[in-house]
């Protein structure tokens, strides 16, 4: 900010950090009742007062959000600031007495966001849009933020939203943020002005995975039928790595042009993921990479049993023989375990019956596996989905887990009972 404003504001700590953020593209991601819309409106009004003659833009997925939420909040804030204003509902424009306007547009058809310039903008409930539509809307809104400011400050575009799974907001602000993209998270509990019992009411009506999103503002898998529903990048995370000379246990999924290896160690009979190799061209390439990167380690591999066939590019040897020829100890049954058994083995170690989370993952060293464990879902046939590319890493991990910690099926003995 280039100048001070004498404005009386009542903000929570997360709201204050977002409202006064100097990031060009700040995102306020929070649970229900965290004050997301209030924060966005306040930020835009401050931008409007800093540059009185310029317009600002407010964007929302639907007209109802604009008419029922945005307009009352803007007018309430302007009344509190004792600033004259006039709302033109037909033009979806709020004229401000200090000069310029607040322009409102919906995102139901992003291609209609044309014909005006703004200095700063904000998008409310952005994550309710499906990913491709959100990406298009972001580009269209960004194109409107081009009114050159006299002090040389950058045009800004902010968002406020409840997290709705792994969509555009997750990809852009959490997974791989570029310069200027800053995320501010606000749990519902950060707002002290909520009615008594509000959070308890939410806990009664939402399952645990949705509460992570709707109370804590976390990105979680909201899709029904997650394959690994109990996995958490926070609870299952561990800050560790392979020690020099430590034996390695590597699960492998064979795919031409997309071989995958999940590198693990075991400590006190506990599996710990300490790395990954993904998108490798073929088995010979994978074997060479493992040899070079992990020299000095004894390597046991737990591959897809189908590797006994001839799948590698231009290879006359089976994938398993290629691994043996590189000096690895190959641990593989004649056939793969049932898919359900493999999934249950992994889930059983993600959260064991005692409540101790046995499987640990260094999520920084295995980011692709982490994302796949969070996002893979079941398809319409009740099988783990293979169309979204989220299957290779969990499969590779599963071959290792099932070999070492298989599901133990109950055995029943039947006998005749004599009277």
The 10s digit of each residue's pLDDT in 34-54 is 999 999 999 999 999 999 999
Q: What percentage of the chain reaches a pLDDT higher than 90? A: 67
Residue 1 has pLDDT above 50, yes or no: no
How many Å apart are CA 146 and CA 231, to the nearest integer? 43
| Mean pLDDT confidence for 181-191 | 96
Residue 58 and residue 63: Cα distance in Å, rounded? Answer: 12
pLDDT-based confidence at residue 357 (cuts at 50, 70, 90): low
Q: What is the mean pLDDT of residues 194-205?
A: 90
Position 4 scores a pLDDT of 52
Q: Where in the chain is the domain with CATH 3.30.420.280?
A: 248-404
Lowest mean pLDDT of 6-10, 67-71, 147-151, 254-258, name the range. Answer: 6-10
Provide the CATH number for the domain formed by 13-214 in this structure.
Answer: 3.40.50.300
Residue pLDDT, tens place only, 210-240: 888 889 998 887 766 789 988 888 889 999 9
Mean pLDDT of the chain: 88
Residue ranges of the chain that CATH labels 3.40.50.300: 13-214
253 phi, psi to nearest 5 deg? -115, 120
pLDDT at 3 over 60: no
Residue 417: band (very low, low, confident or very high) from pLDDT cuts 50, 70, 90: very low
Rounded CA-CA distance 16/235 in Å is 29
Domain 248-404 class in CATH: alpha beta
Report the chain's C-alpha Rg in angstroms. Answer: 27
Q: What does the longest C-alpha to C-alpha distance in the chain come to?
A: 99
Enclosing H/E stretch for 276: strand 271-280
Q: What is the band of 414 on the pLDDT scale with cuts at 50, 70, 90?
A: very low
pLDDT recorded at residue 8: 57
Say what the pTM is.
0.70
Say what the pLDDT of residue 354 is. 47
The model's confidence at residue 404, banded by pLDDT at 50, 70 and 90, is: very high
> Which tokens go with 207?
């399952």
* Tokens linked to 200: 């308890």
**Helices of type H across 249-318:** 283-293
């Amino acid at each position: 900010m280039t100048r001070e404003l004498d404005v009386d504001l009542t903000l929570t700590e997360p709201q204050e950090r977002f409202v006064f953020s100097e990031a060009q593209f700040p995102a306020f991601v929070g649970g229900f009742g965290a004050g997301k819309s209030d924060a966005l409106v306040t930020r835009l009004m401050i931008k409007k007062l800093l540059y009185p003659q310029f317009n600002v833009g407010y964007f929302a997925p639907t007209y109802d959000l604009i008419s029922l939420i945005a307009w009352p909040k803007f007018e309430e804030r302007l009344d509190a600031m004792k600033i004259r204003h006039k709302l033109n509902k037909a033009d979806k424009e709020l004229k401000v007495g200090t000069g310029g306007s607040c322009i409102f547009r919906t995102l139901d058809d992003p291609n209609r966001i044309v014909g005006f310039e703004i200095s700063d903008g904000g998008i409310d409930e952005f994550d309710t849009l499906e990913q491709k539509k959100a990406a298009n809307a972001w580009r269209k809104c960004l194109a409107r933020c081009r009114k050159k400011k006299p002090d040389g400050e950058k045009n800004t575009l902010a968002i406020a939203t409840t997290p709705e799974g792994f969509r555009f907001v997750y990809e852009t602000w959490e997974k791989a943020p570029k310069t200027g993209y800053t995320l501010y998270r606000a749990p519902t509990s950060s707002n002290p002005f909520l009615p008594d019992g509000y959070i308890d009411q939410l806990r009664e009506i939402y399952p645990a995975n949705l509460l992570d999103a709707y109370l804590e503002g976390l990105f979680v898998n909201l899709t029904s039928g997650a394959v690994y529903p109990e996995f958490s990048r926070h609870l299952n995370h561990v800050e560790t790595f392979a020690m020099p000379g430590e034996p390695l246990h590597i699960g492998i999924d064979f795919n031409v042009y997309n071989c995958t290896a999940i590198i693990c160690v075991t400590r006190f009979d506990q599996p710990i993921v300490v790395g990954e190799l993904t998108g490798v061209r073929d088995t010979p390439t994978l074997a060479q990479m493992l040899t070079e990167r992990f020299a000095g380690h004894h390597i046991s591999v737990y591959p897809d049993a189908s590797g006994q066939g001839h799948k590698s590019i231009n290879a006359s040897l089976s994938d398993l023989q290629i691994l043996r020829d590189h000096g690895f100890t190959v641990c593989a049954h004649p056939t793969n375990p049932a898919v359900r058994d493999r999934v249950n083995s992994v889930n059983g170690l993600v959260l064991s019956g005692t409540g101790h989370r046995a499987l640990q993952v260094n999520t920084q060293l295995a980011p692709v596996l982490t994302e796949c464990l969070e996002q893979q879902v079941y398809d319409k046939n009740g099988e783990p989905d293979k169309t979204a590319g989220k299957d290779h890493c969990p499969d590779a991990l599963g071959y290792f887990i099932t070999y070492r910690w298989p599901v133990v099926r109950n055995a029943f003995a039947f006998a005749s009972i004599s009277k």
